[in-house]
Amino acid sequence: MKLDFVIRGSDFINAGEASSGTKKALTRLGISPKAIKRAAIAMYEAELNAVIHAGGGNAEVEIFSDHVQIRVIDNGPGIPDVELAMQEGWSTAPDIAREMGFGAGMGLPNIKKNSNDMSIETEIGHGTTLTIMIRF
Amino acid sequence: MVLLKDIIEPLKCTVLCGEDRLGTSEVTGGYACDLLSWVISRVQTGEVWMTILSSVNVVAVAVLAECSCILLTEEVTMNESVLERAREKGITVLSTPLPTYRACAILADLVDK
Ligand SMILES: Nc1ncnc2c1ncn2[C@@H]1O[C@H](COP(=O)(O)OP(=O)(O)OP(=O)(O)O)[C@@H](O)[C@H]1O
Ligand SMILES: [Mg+2]
């Protein structure tokens, strides 16, 4: 089963709809609530990074019998230092995002914590693709 | 077992939405923080999330983290469009004039006894 979502940049009102849609699909399939929570959290963080840092993008979700693969793709500025970005507390979130409670620098660490596998492909000036795998 | 309805009076709460869940939602504890990703990482299912944030993203985080409710402290209110989203997503929102510190102390007393 495949799901596709468009993520609009700087749209904080609808931010989270892709992960919420994925959560619904997994719930309908009867996946364990713990795995659904991990997938929803990881995808929400990835989605919000596309909203805040990359001017939006899109998400492709593929659901298999024993795992789900979530890919969030953007054409944003890329991440200059992935190792630094992965550290808890590192954030370049703009003030407008911080005023809403984003910018703890915990999103990427949360994705790592909640997924069985994650990988980041990024190129400066071209964009970032984050791939997350959650086992049920 | 502590239910949402048991914390309303001691915490001087106004119910902004989700009245129907007060008698059924169990309160397992509390968590106070205003950084969304931090909350997502730390808050446990069934906890009362105390915050002064009231943008629409707060609702998304409460759903993800499976909080028993959002408790807006320090007289913070929530605008109607955000409350509408909370109703849609099935999240109870309470507000109190108490400072966060006081609210935590009272809640801890109720839940941990
Ligand atoms: N898709 C992306 N495009 C460009 N930069 C990104 C992207 N995702 C993350 N980053 C960079 O990595 C940093 C850390 O990301 P992370 O999600 O951990 O924290 P944050 O988004 O700043 O804050 P939080 O997620 O806690 O609200 C970001 O501040 C940003 O500099
Ligand atoms: Mg983030």
* Dihedral sign of CA atoms A119, A21, A102, B63 in order: negative
Mean pLDDT, residues A36-58 taken together: 98
Q: What is the ipTM of this complex?
A: 0.91
Q: Does residue A91 surpass a pLDDT of 90?
A: yes
| Arithmetic mean of pLDDT, B40-58 | 96
User: In the structure, what pLDDT confidence band is assigned to residue B71 with cuts at 50, 70 and 90?
Assistant: very high
| Closest CB from A12, A20, A104 relative to B57 | A12
* Ligand 1 pocket, CB under 6 A: A 45, 49-50, 52-54, 74, 76-77, 79, 85, 90-93, 102-108, 128; B 36-37
CA atoms within 13 A on the CB side of B20: 3
How far is it between the farthest Cα atoms of chain B? 37
CA distance to partner chain B, nearest, from residue A132 (Å): 17
Q: Is the pLDDT of residue B37 over 90?
A: yes
How confident is the model at residue B112, as a pLDDT?
Answer: 85
> Which of A61, A112, A59, A58 minimizes the C-alpha distance to A85?
A112
Is A44's CB within 8 Å of B41's CB?
no
What value does the mean pLDDT take over residues A67-86? Answer: 98
- B81: part of which helix (H) or strand (E)? helix B80-89
CB < 8 Å to A96, chain B: none
Architecture of domain B2-111: 3-Layer(aba) Sandwich (3.40)
Complete domains list, chain A, with CATH: 2-135 (3.30.565.10)
Question: What residues does each domain of chain B span?
Answer: 2-111
**Measured between alpha carbons, how far is residue B31 from residues B35, B39, B46, B65 in Å?**
12, 8, 10, 11
Residues B56-61: what's their mean pLDDT?
A: 96
Q: What is the mean pLDDT of residues A94-113?
A: 97
